[in-house]
Structure 1
Amino acid sequence: MSIKVLITDHPASTPDVEREVLSTLGAEVVVAPSTDEATLAELAGDVDAIITCFAKVTDRVLDAAVRCRTVARTGVGVDNIDVARATQLGMIVTNVPEYCTDEVADHTLMLILALSRRLGPLVADTAAGGWDRNLTPVPMRLRGKTLALLGTGTIGRALIPRAQAIGMDVVACNRGRATPPGVRSVPGLAALFAEADVLSLHLPLTPETEGIIDRSALAAMKPSALLVNTARGGLVDTPSLTEALAAGEIAGAALDVTEPEPLPAAHRLRGLPNVLLTPHIAFSSDGSLADLSRFAAGNVVGVLRGSLPSSVVNPDVLESPGLRGKGVTHS
């Protein structure tokens, strides 16, 4: 029986890199014409692996994939995959955890700079023929200001020296893990929110972190504070943020990710002058996209050849009697 791999969607303009890597298996590659659940469930029926970027790989899709051994995410977060159901069915779920660290840290710093300099309205007004230095509030001087990190994983840690290079004081609240060198520890979330001149989010989206930036968190922040999110849109309660920005309860927000994503065309956040939006692009560069596709497809090749990728999201499945593909090496 020939090997078949379903690509639900892909980060680059074409899945050429994935095809090249999968050709080492002689695999037939099927690219989904759309990412709706019914289409993916129909296509998944006879595949050995699924590669997905943003498409939702639901329990219905996984249940239909009766011979699938692995689901590979072309990205870091796996909140678009029903990992619990994949584990129950004996499928190994993989991701690519560190392909875009520099890109996201750079994009985050860019958003901090642009937001603090009130760049959005100034650029738009100048492009439209204006020349008004007083169009926005006076820009914020970042030197000496406090950058509060909510999350100090790989990307959060990469942001630290970038922020320190422009003179910012970096603080974090690390429950259960060591505070990175050069970062001041604060005792809890309330203190983190209260100290922040800029609050930058770098958490995965889990049931525990969903909506962590809610009405009470925003109320704890300074009226002059800025919020930056390049992690996951679901970390922020969007209605609460919209109201806080419109009421001037915080000074501004820069979002590369939103909930929902994309925002509806008429959403109020799109029209607020103290908001900068980018279309979930922080991860992207000519280098990172190639790495991402190559590593994700490589994870599939590894599993289907019986070896274990380094980035298994659901390691419990490896001890499951229902593990699909008993040739997988656990060491």
Structure 2
Amino acid sequence: MSDSTQGGGLARLVVALDDGYASYDQEEAVLAAEGARFALRPCKRDPKRALDAAREADVVLVRESPLPREVIEGLSRCKAIVRYGIGVDNIDQVAASERRIMVANVPDYGTDEVSSQAVALALAVSRRLWLHDREVREGRWSTGVLQPMFRLRGRTLGLVGFGRIARMTLEKFAGFGFARVLVNDPRAELPEGVERADIDTLCAESDVISLHAPFNAQTRHLINAERIARMKPTAILVNTARGGLVHTDALYDALAARRILGAGLDVFEQEPPGIHKLFSLDNVVVSNHMGWYSEEAMRDLQRKTAEEAARVLRGEAPLNWLNRW
């Protein structure tokens, strides 16, 4: 779909900078009710194209495309930028605040899906599914041990961050019989039986480590060579949050040397990652940042993003306003 012409005479404009959804009927309906026109103008992650597309927009909707300072400073009438999703590391919030442009996200969608992806990746690594799938597809059949596997019952689960997704991940892991659950999140209220731990202790004592922290300057490479070196030989690292939380080269070195059991990754430092050396290893399971997806989650996300834009057009603050002043 190209630039929508429904309500072409309307003065107010909401521009989406990334395509990829099958339909934008929800955005068009929600925004038309506010007397605004919706336009889809894909910029293919090019900041210059983003500025050309959004210069006159009252609200900008964005997925992956970067919105650095030079784009934000060129927006002539923008009141808000709304992220289709949770992470906002592609938006210069400092520049937005200086221009009094509100930045909002949609944190309450896809919780079920991402938590299921985290569990699925952990199980795929634990049960060596990639290795055995390849064996069968290549015509080999062996009931012997290809690589060691270990049961999860009686072991330790570590959760880095304890927001919506981490809490649901814990709920889904509850039936696997973990003896201990460690959480690294200094502000979260923890349920009974869950232990708060610093990140070094969590890395050293957990058998499954699932990352659910936001990505920012403080959490970049939170899982670095030193912390990976603390991990058990039975450790499985799962990342469904942001690729930059993990030092990728350090993880590769540990996996290649089989110093930890394996890793399940839905996110990468650079996306798309190209043909990365990690992909040559048989103790890594990967997916293409699709943990958020189901048909239901996608519709929820589009509707909630449009509703945030509608609030701004009505003169209200968005529900999930991040750079408050």
Q: Aligned match of 2:318 in 294, 304, 309? A: 309
1:235 and 2:245 matched: yes
Using the TM superposition, give the Cα deviation of residue 135 of structure 1 relative to its aligned residue in structure 2, in angstroms.
Answer: 6.4
Residue matched to 1:65 = 75
Residue matched to 2:5 = none
**Is 1:222–1:250's contact at 8 Å kept on the other side of the alignment?**
yes
1:200 and 2:246 matched: no
Amino acid at match of 2:318: P
Worse-superposed segment, 99-108 or 3-12 = 3-12
1:46 aligned counterpart, secondary structure: coil
> Mapping of 1:125-164 within 5 angstroms?
125-134=135-144, 136-164=146-174
Worse-superposed segment, 164-173 or 96-105 = 164-173
Percentage of matched positions with identical amino acids: 37
1:170 and 2:181 matched: yes
Q: Cα RMSD between the aligned structures?
A: 1.5
Gaps of 5+ in 1: 317-331
**Is 1:11–1:74's contact at 8 Å kept on the other side of the alignment?**
no
Residue matched to 2:297 = 288
**Is 1:6–1:31's contact at 8 Å kept on the other side of the alignment?**
yes
Residue matched to 1:247 = 257
Using the TM superposition, give the Cα deviation of residue 115 of structure 1 relative to its aligned residue in structure 2, in angstroms.
Answer: 0.9
**Is 2:12–2:36's contact at 8 Å kept on the other side of the alignment?**
yes
Q: Supply the distance in 1 between the matched residues of 2:86 and 2:20 (Cα, whole angstroms).
A: 13
Residue matched to 1:13 = 22
Q: Supply the distance in 2 between the matched residues of 1:68 and 1:191 (Cα, whole angstroms).
A: 45
Alpha carbons of 1:18 and 1:290: their partners in 2 closer, same or farther (altered >3 Å)?
Answer: same
Q: Supply the distance in 1 between the matched residues of 2:259 and 2:217 (Cα, whole angstroms).
A: 27
**Is 1:9–1:54's contact at 8 Å kept on the other side of the alignment?**
yes
Amino acid at match of 1:52: V
Residue matched to 2:4 = none
Using the TM superposition, give the Cα deviation of residue 211 of structure 1 relative to its aligned residue in structure 2, in angstroms.
Answer: 0.6
Worse-superposed segment, 13-22 or 159-168 = 13-22
1:259 and 2:295 matched: no
Give the structure-2-normalised TM-score. Answer: 0.92
Using the TM superposition, give the Cα deviation of residue 310 of structure 1 relative to its aligned residue in structure 2, in angstroms.
Answer: 1.4
Using the TM superposition, give the Cα deviation of residue 98 of structure 1 relative to its aligned residue in structure 2, in angstroms.
Answer: 1.1
Q: Supply the distance in 1 between the matched residues of 2:215 and 2:143 (Cα, whole angstroms).
A: 39
Residue matched to 2:280 = 271
**4+ runs of 1 displaced by more than 6 Å?**
none
Amino acid at match of 2:191: P
Residue matched to 2:35 = 26
Alpha carbons of 1:136 and 1:12: their partners in 2 closer, same or farther (altered >3 Å)?
Answer: farther
Q: Supply the distance in 1 between the matched residues of 2:143 and 2:96 (Cα, whole angstroms).
A: 55
Give the structure-1-normalised TM-score. Answer: 0.91
**Is 1:32–1:39's contact at 8 Å kept on the other side of the alignment?**
no
Residue matched to 1:180 = 191
Q: Supply the distance in 1 between the matched residues of 2:187 and 2:96 (Cα, whole angstroms).
A: 29
Q: Supply the distance in 1 between the matched residues of 2:302 and 2:20 (Cα, whole angstroms).
A: 8
Using the TM superposition, give the Cα deviation of residue 20 of structure 1 relative to its aligned residue in structure 2, in angstroms.
Answer: 2.5
Deviations 1:4-61 (A, max 9, x none): 1110114523333322322223322222233211101111211111001111111121
Residue matched to 1:106 = 116
Amino acid at match of 2:298: L
1:315 aligned counterpart, secondary structure: coil
Q: Supply the distance in 2 between the matched residues of 1:24 and 1:128 (Cα, whole angstroms).
A: 56
Using the TM superposition, give the Cα deviation of residue 176 of structure 1 relative to its aligned residue in structure 2, in angstroms.
Answer: 4.0
